[in-house]
Copies of this chain bind each other. A is one copy, B any other.
Amino acid sequence: MQRRDFLSQAGASAGILLTSSLGSPVFPAKVPPARKLGVALVGLGNYSTRQLAPALQETELCRLAGIVTGTPAKAEAWKEKYNIPEKSIYSYENFEQIKYNPDIDIVYVVLPNSMHVEYTIRAALAGKHVICEKPMALNVAECKEMIATCREAGVKLSVGYRLYFEPHHQEVRRLGTEKIYGAVKMMETSLGFSMADPTVWRLNPKLGGGGAIMDLGVYAIQGARRVIGELPVAVTAQGYIRDKTIFKDIYETMLFQMEFPGGAISNSTTTYTSYVDRLYATTGYRWFGLQPAFNATGATGDSSEGKIEFKTPAYQQIRQMDAFAKSIMDNTEPLASGEEGMKDLRIIEAIKQAADTGKRVEIDWKS
């Protein structure tokens, strides 16, 4: 028997059911180390298929234990490929039954942005810890509701920020926040790809919530926040729609600028017109950067002092999901928390307002 198989079997038989103050079943903060936490993926699109499921074959503290899908053919294929028991396969209608399944500790919401709030709350009320894909929700109000519900349900909430755990990004965070090359003064962070299929949910304002800035903006925003270690105090933004046959009521391209309290400034491009994927930071006479920077298949780093190179696992989500599993086991606050996700939505709201009004928008971090 392979070690992985052994751990999977051990995990499947080690579930312990408790009941939270809301009457939902939850797992205790401490889990026997031999037991991998069970993850149920909600939504079996590209990201689940090509990234999360393969990553969950490599994770050490959690494993693919269940799926939630509205497509019976997908359920059948996944059941066979990943040896998922019938009892851990749910549809969107019977999703609530997941609360009675001791094999599922974590629900990973991989649905269109507009459905994040609903499924995060349903998962929390079912007593499951939640990872929600980025952007966390459509707006700050939804984020608040998600965070409060998870807190009341006694479950942990994390946002699918894989780059928090990626070595090149950890290195630019270190170079920036520890002022290794001096204090960072300017940053450029940009992400874009060609999105010409009008049927994609990301282009539907109701499902995606706002196009390139919602989808790609979190990366560009986080890239700058990560390097400087501060929250922006004001933003300006420029929204563009070139192809009105495809882009209806959402900006195809959003450029934005962030002002940080220490005086640093960032300038960012997010676009659905074309490929761009880079991060640059400069401290006066020295600089560091990544290109590619944000995509899921790996970063490459360079600097005024030489290359930035790290060996990385095949899937960035391995570390992300294991870190969340560990925070559950240790009962610590997840690094990529719901609060972190809400900060990005607050910035995105300010960017949208700045683009819509053409005015500089100050961000109120107290509200």
Contact A287 B276 (CB under 8 A): yes
Query: Which B residues are in CB contact (< 8 Å) with A283?
Result: 274
B278–A282 CB distance below 8 A: no
Does A255 belong to the interface (CB within 8 Å)?
yes
Q: Which of B240, B253, B257, B271 is within 8 Å of A255, CB to CB? A: B257
Is there an interface contact between B285 and A194, defined as CB atoms closer than 8 Å? yes
Is A273 an interface position by the 8 A CB rule? yes
From A76-84, A159-167, A262-270, give the one contacting chain B: A262-270
Contact B276 A282 (CB under 8 A): yes
| Chain A at the B interface: SS class | strand
- Give the bracket for the number of chain A residues in contact with chain B: 35 or more
CB of A236 closer than 8 Å to a CB of B? yes
At the interface with chain B, which of A88-96, A146-154, A185-193, A324-332? A185-193
Name A's B-contacting residues (CB within 8 A): 185-186, 188, 190, 192, 194, 236, 238, 240, 242, 253, 255, 257, 259, 263, 265, 267, 269, 271, 273-276, 278, 280, 282-287, 304, 358-360
What are 28 A-B pairs with beta-carbon distances under 8 A?
A185-B271, A185-B273, A185-B274, A186-B253, A186-B269, A186-B276, A188-B188, A188-B269, A192-B282, A194-B284, A236-B238, A238-B257, A240-B265, A242-B263, A253-B265, A255-B265, A255-B267, A267-B269, A273-B284, A274-B282, A274-B284, A274-B287, A275-B285, A275-B304, A276-B282, A278-B280, A358-B359, A358-B360
